[in-house]
Structure 1
Amino acid sequence: MPTAAHPLSDDELFAWLGLVHSPGLSPGAARRLLAAFGSPEAAIGAGPGAWREVAGLAASQALLNPALNPDETFARTRAWLAEDPTCRHVVTLGDPTYPTALLQTADPPLLLYGHGRLSLLERPSLAIVGSRHATPAGLDNARAFAAHLAQAGLVIVSGLALGIDGAAHEGALEGAAAGGTGGTIAVVGTGLDRVYPKRHHALAHRLVDGAGLQLSEFMLGAESLKEHFPRRNRIIAGMSMGTLVVEAAVQSGSLITARLAVECGRDVFAIPGSIHSPQSRGCHRLIKEGAKLVETADDILHELRWPAAPAPAPSAGAPTGREDPVLAAMGHDPVTTDSLSDRTGWPVAELQARLLELELDGRIARLPGGLFQRRAAA
């Protein structure tokens, strides 16, 4: 059973929603009102003169002329909570279940919506982020690192985006299912009554039904607006002990998350990749700037001084002997059939047949442009 947030009365919920979701009222102004009056109810009831004195004219005008219908916002939120009261929550600043690490950041959300295992907020967590246009090797790495770290007891935080985020959530669920005490938190840029991207609808439901939690500061009904995602990223970075970037282009939201982690005083880790891959250049830049280069999940556990995960039992089908000659010739960069033929001396027809076998075995991936690349486990 999930840990429950402190239950809010209808009056408390109405006041919190009115304070947090008043258009034109900045988070900073809302925090000043809370600090001055002690509670949302007292702040809302203080009146225009007090609002203006504490938070300025713009804040007073925002509270006097809300663009949203507060009754409708309250009714929608109350109904959403009532549909599944054990797994749906509103967590306010100062609630015992509010993430402690997030409280230590410069701009903690005043209110969070949660759906799933709220107890995950009380556990140490690590963010895993990266490219939406990840390579097969990047997806394998994200999944494998997340599974290992979740099995060691860490909660994996990511943003439910396509690519690396989704692979990280999948891996964390696998690690938890394999007996790990960790799980995964998806911090999203929409209201929790929506799933974005739609391709992750099934993953979002598996996450909530299993060892996971969805988290958002955006009101129910909020759509996936461009400006929501930098705010989502500050939560991902702020609630985590560190951030691992798996793959990222130089101009990437993942690098923004890494920068936010540095600003919060948290560790940043990066997995190096091919010097020829655009998706490795962001990680290489982070490493040049001081991020910790990691090659295994245990590298991260060592840096965090966290106990290692239990060693998995050896697989009965584990390969033995020399490495496959085609894989050895392939290396770890994308390569064409012609280049492989030159390296191995194999005829192209024979090589294509072997490449198909390796692809069906899941040991290599076929990339656009007639390229092949070995997968992370190969």
Structure 2
Amino acid sequence: MTPQSSPHLDPNQRAILALWYEVNGSLSAYYKLMSAFDSAQKAWAASISTWQALGIHTAHLQRHEQQQQTLASIDKIEQALVAERYQLLFADEPEFPAQLLQIYDPPPLLFCQGNIARLQQAQIAMVGSRKPSAHAQKSTFDIAQYLAQTGYVITSGLAMGVDKCAHLGALAQVDSEYQGRTVGVMGTGIEVFYPNHHDKLFSQIIEQGGCIVSELLPHTQPHKHTFPRRNRLVAGLSLATIVTEATIKSGSLITARLTSEQGKQVFALPSHIDNKNAEGCHHLIREGATLIYHPDQVLSDVNVQLSFSPSLPSINQPLKPSTPRNSPQRSTTDRALLAHSMPTRTSSPIKIPEHLSFIYELLDWHGQDLDALLISSKLTAPQLIGQLMELELLGAIDVQGGRYLRL
């Protein structure tokens, strides 16, 4: 059975959607299938036994057995596209945000509502507590408003608290040139507003020229695993991340960690030492995040990135689309999230794969920071971080205070 072409989706796009539906948005399963076949169409046409031999999960195999149901689901998505309830961007299209092609677990597609041009413009993420103090709410709003007025797009996760303040601050522009400079990344499907009472915020973002996006299937409900996935997209879309207030167990620290792993800068606002709600920010600063108390300090650092990176244009221009990398060889979101819990090393010796031996030999037991390793390895930041992550998952190295060292 082959997905048929249509005025809105060609056969390959329908096949990508078919795979995405049948693996229920699992990045690991999707890229395992894509790496085993030349195209999405061939992967979708493969037999159940072939999928099973690849180690695809039983639940995905069951969906693959019901391909008529898959096609019916694709038809519903296409009907929504015709009705303009949302838009759909694929990773090989020029409108797809180029910066997401640089992360190790890129989404193969994005469902969007609003002004998709925002996705390719220079963005700064702002994240933090769902129950921020009054001071943190004001600081978040003011910083977001200030940065949006300078031309940056403010990206956040549409959650209560700091996220909402960041979006509203970016929307609070009188000058029409700077209105709507915000992107909201959803932890649900594009047609599931969460929290429920944020429907007004969603509408305001869209109506004022902002954009909301999701990699998940349109009716995906909130789940504990969908929000870390959202956080990696918030980090991936942005040049840097600002944490304005967060507890030590806040999901914002996941976003900060992912930002750092992507070779980007993390900023944190300090607070009083007895403010439990700010322990996460103080931890980040202790671990190497940049302490700030004025948005100009963010601008001075991020503007340097734009000035010295030929791939990034001025803040008022969209990011230049780049050629998609070989996505099937990317790491999955599971690997990115596993990096938060250090694997324990067993007593048996770890065999270092040949393609990682060069980086492993550069490391020592005292630790080196990312900048030093970039210089000595002469690799790009995405290549280096990917190899370091693989070594970390093998249990061969550790990360302490932003420094990589052998175990």
Deviations 1:184-208 (A, max 9, x none): 1110111111211122111100101
Aligned to 2:129: 131
SS in 1 for 2:172: helix
Aligned to 2:19: 19
Superposed, which structure 2 residues align to 1:136-147 within 5 Å?
Answer: 136-147=134-145
Aligned to 1:42: 42
SS in 2 for 1:305: helix
Q: What is the letter of the counterpart of residue 216 of structure 1?
A: S
Structure 1's unaligned 5+ residue stretches are 1-6, 310-378
Q: CA RMSD in A?
A: 2.6
Aligned to 1:76: 76
Q: Confirm or deny: 8 A CA contact 1:156 1:183 kept in the other structure.
A: yes
Superposed, which structure 2 residues align to 1:147-186 within 5 Å?
Answer: 147-175=145-173, 177=175, 179-180=177-178, 183-186=181-184
Question: Is 2:120 the counterpart of 1:109?
Answer: no
Q: TM-score, normalised by structure 2?
A: 0.68
Shift of 1:267: 0.7
Structure 2 Cα separation of the partners of residues 149 and 70 of structure 1: 44
Q: Confirm or deny: 8 A CA contact 1:24 1:58 kept in the other structure.
A: no
Q: Confirm or deny: 8 A CA contact 2:8 2:78 kept in the other structure.
A: no
**Matched positions, count:** 300
Q: Confirm or deny: 8 A CA contact 2:171 2:179 kept in the other structure.
A: no
Q: Confirm or deny: 8 A CA contact 1:120 1:183 kept in the other structure.
A: yes
Aligned to 1:246: 244
Structure 2's unaligned 5+ residue stretches are 1-6, 307-313, 316-407
Aligned to 1:259: 257
Shift of 1:82: 1.8
Shift of 1:125: 0.7
Looking at CA atoms only, which structure, 1 or 2, has the larger radius of gyration? 1
Aligned to 1:207: 205
SS in 2 for 1:238: helix
Structure 1 Cα separation of the partners of residues 24 and 163 of structure 2: 32
Aligned to 1:96: 94
1:262–1:84 CA distance, 2 compared to 1 (3 A): same
Q: What is the letter of the counterpart of residue 29 of structure 2?
A: A
1:183–1:38 CA distance, 2 compared to 1 (3 A): farther
Shift of 1:213: 0.6
Q: What is the letter of the counterpart of residue 237 of structure 2?
A: M
Structure 2 Cα separation of the partners of residues 57 and 84 of structure 1: 34
Aligned to 1:292: 290
Q: Confirm or deny: 8 A CA contact 1:153 1:182 kept in the other structure.
A: no
Shift of 1:228: 0.8
Q: Confirm or deny: 8 A CA contact 1:25 1:58 kept in the other structure.
A: no
Structure 2 Cα separation of the partners of residues 11 and 189 of structure 1: 28
1:67–1:281 CA distance, 2 compared to 1 (3 A): farther
Q: What is the letter of the counterpart of residue 28 of structure 1?
A: S
1:226–1:49 CA distance, 2 compared to 1 (3 A): closer
SS in 2 for 1:165: helix
